[in-house]
Amino acid sequence: MNYYWGHNFNSTSSLLGGAVIAGEADNTAIFYNPATVSEMQKGNNLSFSANLFTWNFYDFKNALGDGIDLNTDNFLVQPQFVSYTYKPSRKGISISLSVLTRIKEQMEINYNHSKYYDVLTRLPGNEKYNTTFVYRNDYSDTWIGGAISHELSDRFSYGLSVFVSVSSLRYNFGYSASATNWNDTTNGGSYSTTAESEYREFIKFTDYRLILKLGLAYDGGNWRVGFTLTSPSMRAFSTGKQVERIQSQTGIARGNVPAGLSDFVIFDGQEDKKISTNYKMPFSTGAGFIYDFKRRGQKLYFSLEFFGKLKEYKMVNAEINPDITSPIVYDTLSNKDWSSYTYAARSVLNAAVGYSWTLSNDLVFMNAFRTDFSAINFINLGNKNYYNYVKTTKYNVYHYSGGVEFSFKKNRIIAGADIAFGYQKNLAQIANFTSPVEYDASTGRALQGTPENNMQMYYVGLNIFLAATLNFTKKNPDQKK
């Protein structure tokens, strides 16, 4: 959710790291720069993803306490891009239609463990200490749209893309802990005493948004430049809205907690008309440059794109409901807007540099490096700092891609790979299950210790590309590619 350049469209542009704002985006021109749609060959071009194999590996060191690591991976096989481009009889006009998945991510982590600790120090002996953690984040953003490009001359063109974005989120986060003493003899006799603590949250919605992109391109011979301007997302409507949040604890000694907080439940669940959702994307502006070393059959590609800041806003806006817990507990809540979620994003500048080498008339090697900086790293939620928020990764990601493009008669086939890496350290632990206490007054958490700032995140991604662009008319040898 927090990355703007995570896309891999299984096309020539993917092998060049998206450094194609100035041109040669091929079938993905509708996304990178609609002015360059006119570069497509004469005739009708159908492009599709045959297969995109994606492996993602995640590792979180000390996530739930010192020595408790979380790791997970996922494997996806997904078609991500279909486009159709044609040139009407009117000179200089090109039209493109496309369905593309800008990003699709699935992360799921489950943890459960049992151990003996002396958590309830008021009772003799150790307790059976049971802990669980669950996390699921499924996010996808599919764009459906069209573009029109007009060549004013052999050197200058402009274009406009119009997209409907279908952005879907299904999110689940929670942890629990319990401590059971089987040898409680404080009241004379043998009893068992159990203390429990739980926290869970759930969000589900699909947003439909409108996004516009304006592009310009200029061909200077052995060099080319391109510029783009993308509008902020404009929300149309949302469906499938649902939010749920619960926090509870029981069996905590009253002497350890403020009055009325030893046993409590806070619960709220809302859906449909009671909540509104809006996951925003900021405006962005991009620039690109291509230099052609004609004698060597090699080209240098470079692109920059700046994404604006998003001030804090409610991504999920739920009705305030005072009847979610007891009056005493409700008065202690720093934020009474219990089921709303806030979001904010800092401005981001991403860059990509690519290089291609024509090995023969029918074979081109391409490779690239690009950044994908997190939009929420070191973010400040301003006056909504006490609001709840979606827990997601925030490390910066770096990509290296490479592969080849084959020409077969009038069609093109690409094959290659993209390797991504991300890392961040000194993050706050999600929970602390290795130093549990009955009640931590500094955090208000029961049956766990104070989270330390020693969690480390690692991410490695591998994408395998295989795709084809088909042309249905004879290639004109005088037509510029």
- As a whole number of angstroms, the distance between CA 434 and CA 431 comes to 9
Give tens-digit pLDDT for 84-133.
888 877 778 999 999 988 888 889 999 999 999 999 888 888 899 999 99
Q: Which whole number is the average pLDDT over 126-154? A: 94
Alpha carbons within 13 A on the beta-carbon side of 271: 7
Question: What value does the mean pLDDT take over residues 176-180?
Answer: 95
User: Is residue 343 predicted with pLDDT exceeding 50?
Assistant: yes
Chain-wide mean pLDDT for the chain?
88
pLDDT in tens, 394-407: 899 999 999 998 88
> Hey, what are 61's tokens?
């060191």
CA 298-299-300 angle, 5° bins: 135
Measured from the Cβ of residue 349, the count of other Cβ atoms closer than 10 Å reads: 11
Beta bridge partners, 457, equal 60, 424
Rounded CA-CA distance 424/44 in Å is 46
The pLDDT tens digits for 186-223 are 555 556 789 999 999 999 999 999 999 999 999 998 99
Which tens digits make up the pLDDT trace of 284-337? 999 999 999 987 789 999 999 999 999 999 999 999 999 999 999 999 888 899
Residue 237 phi, psi (nearest 5) = -165, 170
Q: Which residue has the tokens 């200089």?
A: 92
For the domain spanning 12-471, the CATH number is 2.40.160.60
DSSP 283-311: -EEEEEEEEEEGGGTEEEEEEEEEE--EE
Domain regions of the chain by residue span? 12-471
Q: Using one digit for the tens of pLDDT, what is the confidence trace for 439-455?
A: 998 888 999 999 999 99
Q: CA-to-CA distance for 264 and 262, rounded, in angstroms?
A: 7
Say yes or no to pLDDT of 352 above 80: yes
Q: Is residue 226 a contact partner of residue 23, using CB atoms and an 8 Å limit? A: yes
CA-CA distance, 200 to 391, in Å (whole number)? 12
Which has the closest alpha carbon to 136: 168, 169, 167?
169
| C-alpha 121, offset from chain centre | 43
Which residues are bridge partners to 176 per DSSP?
132, 198
Q: Estimate to the nearest angstrom the gap between the alpha carbon of 243 and the chain centroid.
A: 20
Q: 29, 129 in Cβ contact below 8 A?
A: no
